[in-house]
């Protein structure tokens, strides 16, 4: 049967798996599956289950009219704990019997956010982090004001970090560690004070909880100055006593895992407490729990970032490890690492003398995994450039190839024709002899009609993330519409060593500009790209670099700058991300802004001649909409060819990946129409 071209509307049919959770006995995997309901203009996330033996299909386990997430197995495998707002639209914790039956709500929390949840080793308690919404801004208070026709009260802001992308105003609440006793339904708060707490993990005997908190004088100014503490899990700290502080260097810490013998805690992090931009590679560390010896990096010379730095507009994620397991040399850690455009599973020996062992191999990304209780079998979420991710099982004893368990989007992918990307390294002298890792999607008919085509250079955001071997529906739809789509990992990207990542520090435009143009030059030389019909686009940092490119070159016939950064001086005072003065950029916003202005595309707006579509959302707190307003006004006053596409407050920085379905479709249609106008007109 012949296949049809991919369309923009196919986005509504792609379902996205995430958060694979292996059962303690290794027989089943619970996972979250997100689907899009175009008619209701909503997403729904539900918990599904698939057997690891490969002898059964995946089945849906929850079916509420709201969504569920964070499935976590009880130690005996009899229950799944999960979070949901299925009652009163307030997030709560529910328990679902795994042998059948209805889910039961076990918490009665006020409106707020539930973070991580984890069962105690004996299965009698669940620890979780929670941040309450300020009473004045809970739904019932807002509705009461509307009934009485009263105005909203002012917000008294005293913190630097008072807003969060995707959340909104933070308010006065803090993330604190709580413990739910399942039998009595009582909740004990373990941590207190004006600092946020989390991540956390249980000790093997269930007597203690390790938890991360920031210990800087002002955590908002030093968000990565984190330390690791141990608390008693049963009764909390006696009044006037302090928790046990483990001997770890200050720095970011996530994904805590206590060793089965109780002697160590593993975590992902590094020791650069003042590095907030993500240049430094994250590694697995281990710290002794009782004898005061210092923490150590298990792979200090491994120039690789642990965790997933891969991007996609339809792929999900999950846990990155570390998880404890037994290898041929004894105790070891399992962890994901991002390298050369792939994300793979690795084993690291606790002793550190043996090089990290790669357990998966291929042109793919593994954005999430967990293991069974014995560390013998892993549940993998694995995606490729031709699928949106599926569930796999991997025997860690046999070190066999992962066994695929699901084909969640097979019906759609049997129907549409996807283009397999070409991978290449674009040579450039500007990168000191290093080629620029890149991908190209060619139109499906290119093999039969190999003539140069209109070409789009799509620049990724971050900037310290990476394109990977993952599916981008938008890029497939553009290729099906007749475009060559180029997507490179220029300097600044993760996955190619810290030197490559840090090359743009203090120089966001120069090195990456040279690299993305090298990608275009390569495509022209291959006969893929028509040099007279070139377009450039990108979002976030990709929007920044798009603005930079068109202000420094006139090679492109049209451009789209989406949710971009255009004025670093104002950005440093308006975004939700904490900026450190005279650090990553050698500037501050008030009396020494020169380096900000030198690096800002707005400074070069007078040189822009390329027709530009600016896309931004009013709900964007990461790159506030004032960025787009400034560039649009500057170009419009010069009578340049510019259009400002302004989405409302229901859309945020994540519009292209998780925004309202109707707006995601509208956005893609408008981008395609923009480039059709300028790149497909008759010569």
- Contact between 558 and 535 under an 8 Å Cβ cutoff? The reply is yes
Query: Does the active-site annotation cover 434?
Result: no
- For residue 663, the surrounding DSSP H or E stretch is helix 661-679
Annotated catalytic residue within 74, 308, 320, 540: 540
What residues contact residue 650 under an 8 Å CB cut-off, 6+ apart? 619, 659, 660, 663
Backbone φ, ψ for residue 150 (5° rounding): -105, 150
Count of alpha carbons within 13 Å of 319, Cβ hemisphere only?
25
Query: Read out DSSP for 94-144?
Result: EEEETTS---EE---PPSEEEEEEEE-TTSSEEEEEEEEPPGGGSHHHHHH
Closest CA to 167 of 587, 619, 575, 507: 619
Rg value, the chain, Cα: 25
C-alpha to C-alpha distance for 398 and 360, rounded to whole angstroms: 12
For the packed helices 661-679 and 473-480, what is the interaxial angle rounded to 10 degrees? 40
Closest CA to 627 of 601, 608, 609, 607: 601
- Contact between 179 and 190 under an 8 Å Cβ cutoff? The reply is yes
Residue 545 vs residues 492, 509, 550, 562: alpha-carbon distances, Å: 12, 6, 9, 10
Q: Tell me whether strands 323-327 and 305-306 are parallel, antiparallel or unpaired.
A: unpaired
Closest CA to 330 of 307, 301, 304, 353: 353
Closest CA to 562 of 412, 424, 482, 459: 459
CA–centroid distance for 471 within its chain? 15
- For residue 677, the surrounding DSSP H or E stretch is helix 661-679
Backbone φ, ψ for residue 438 (5° rounding): -150, 160
151 by Cβ neighbours in 10 Å (0-12 / 13-18 / 19+) ranks as exposed
Closest CA to 156 of 171, 174, 139, 137: 171
Closest CA to 335 of 301, 367, 362: 367
Q: Within 494-585, where are the H helices? A: 498-502, 510-525, 541-552, 568-574
Query: Does the active-site annotation cover 540?
Result: yes
3-state secondary structure of 251: coil
Annotated catalytic residue within 176, 469, 473, 653: 653
Reading phi first (left if > 0) and then psi (alpha if -120 to 50, else beta), residue 262 is in left
What residues contact residue 156 under an 8 Å CB cut-off, 6+ apart? none
- Contact between 601 and 544 under an 8 Å Cβ cutoff? The reply is yes
What is residue 420's DSSP assignment? P
What residues contact residue 448 under an 8 Å CB cut-off, 6+ apart? none
C-alpha to C-alpha distance for 376 and 260, rounded to whole angstroms: 14
Closest CA to 388 of 356, 371, 410, 373: 410
3-state secondary structure of 674: helix
Residues identified as active-site: 540, 653
């Amino acid at each position: 049967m012949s296949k049809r071209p991919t369309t923009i509307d196919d986005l509504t049919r792609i379902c996205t798996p995430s958060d694979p959770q292996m059962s303690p006995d290794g027989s089943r995997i619970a996972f979250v599956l997100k689907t899009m309901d175009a008619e209701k203009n909503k997403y729904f996330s539900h918990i599904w289950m698939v057997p690891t033996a490969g002898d059964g299909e995946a089945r849906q386990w929850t079916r509420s009219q709201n969504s569920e997430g964070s499935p976590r197995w009880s130690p005996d495998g009899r229950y799944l704990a999960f979070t949901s707002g299925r009652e009163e639209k307030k997030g709560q914790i529910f328990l679902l019997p795994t042998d059948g039956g209805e889910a039961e709500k076990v918490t009665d929390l006020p409106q707020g956010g539930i973070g991580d949840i984890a069962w105690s080793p004996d299965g009698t308690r669940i620890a979780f982090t929670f941040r309450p919404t300020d009473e004045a801004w809970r739904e019932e208070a807002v509705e009461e004001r509307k009934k009485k026709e009263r105005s909203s009260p002012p917000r008294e802001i005293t913190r630097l970090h008072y807003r969060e992308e995707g959340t909104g105003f933070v308010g006065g609440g803090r993330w604190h560690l709580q413990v739910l006793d399942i039998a009595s339904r009582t909740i004990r708060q373990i941590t207190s004070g004006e600092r946020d707490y989390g991540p956390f993990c249980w000790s093997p005997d269930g007597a203690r909880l390790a938890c991360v908190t920031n210990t800087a004088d002002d955590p908002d100014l030093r968000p990565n100055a984190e330390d690791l503490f141990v608390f008693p899990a049963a009764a909390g700290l006696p009044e006037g006593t302090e928790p046990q502080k483990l001997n770890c260097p200050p720095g970011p810490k996530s994904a805590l895992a206590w060793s089965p013998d109780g002697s160590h805690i593993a975590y992902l992090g590094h020791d650069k407490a003042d590095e907030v931009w993500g240049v430094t590679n994250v590694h697995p560390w281990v710290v002794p729990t009782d004898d005061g010896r210092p923490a150590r990096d298990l792979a200090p010379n491994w120039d690789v970032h642990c965790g997933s730095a891969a991007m996609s507009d339809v792929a999900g994620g999950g846990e990155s490890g570390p998880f404890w397991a037994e290898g041929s040399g004894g105790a070891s850690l399992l962890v994901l690492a991002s390298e050369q455009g792939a994300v793979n599973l690795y084993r690291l020996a606790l002793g550190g003398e043996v090089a990290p062992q790669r357990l998966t191999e291929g042109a793919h990304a593994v954005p999430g995994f967990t293991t069974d209780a014995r560390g013998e079998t892993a549940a993998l979420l694995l995606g490729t450039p031709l699928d949106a991710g599926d569930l796999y099982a991997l025997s860690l004893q046999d070190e066999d190839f992962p066994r695929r368990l699901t084909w969640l989007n097979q019906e759609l992918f049997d129907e549409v024709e996807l283009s397999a990307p070409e991978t290449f390294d674009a040579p450039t002298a500007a990168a000191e002899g290093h080629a620029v890792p890149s991908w190209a999607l060619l139109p499906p008919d290119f093999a039969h009609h190999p003539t140069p085509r209109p070409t789009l250079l799509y620049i990724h955001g971050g900037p310290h993330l990476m394109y990977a071997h993952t599916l981008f529906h938008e890029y497939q739809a553009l290729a099906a519409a007749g475009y060559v789509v180029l997507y490179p990992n220029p300097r600044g990207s993760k996955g190619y060593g810290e030197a490559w990542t840090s090359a743009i520090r203090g120089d966001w435009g120069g090195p990456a500009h040279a690299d993305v143009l090298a990608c275009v030059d390569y495509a022209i030389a291959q006969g893929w790209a028509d040099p007279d019909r070139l377009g450039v686009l990108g979002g976030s940092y990709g929007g920044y670099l798009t603005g930079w490119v068109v202000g420094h070159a006139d090679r492109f016939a049209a451009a789209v700058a989406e949710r971009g950064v255009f004025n670093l001086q104002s950005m440093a005072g308006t975004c939700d991300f904490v900026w450190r003065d005279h650090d990553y950029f050698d500037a501050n916003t008030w009396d020494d802004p020169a380096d900000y202005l030198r690096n800002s595309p707005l400074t070069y707006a007078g040189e822009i001649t390329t027709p530009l579509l600016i896309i931004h959302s009013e709900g964007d707190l990461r790159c506030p909409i004032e960025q787009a307003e400034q560039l649009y006004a500057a170009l419009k006053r010069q009578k340049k060819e510019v259009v400002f596409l302004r989405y409302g407050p229901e859309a945020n920085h994540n519009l292209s990946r998780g925004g309202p379905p109707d707006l995601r479709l509208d956005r893609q249609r408008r981008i395609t129409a923009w480039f059709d106008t300028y790149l497909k007109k008759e010569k």
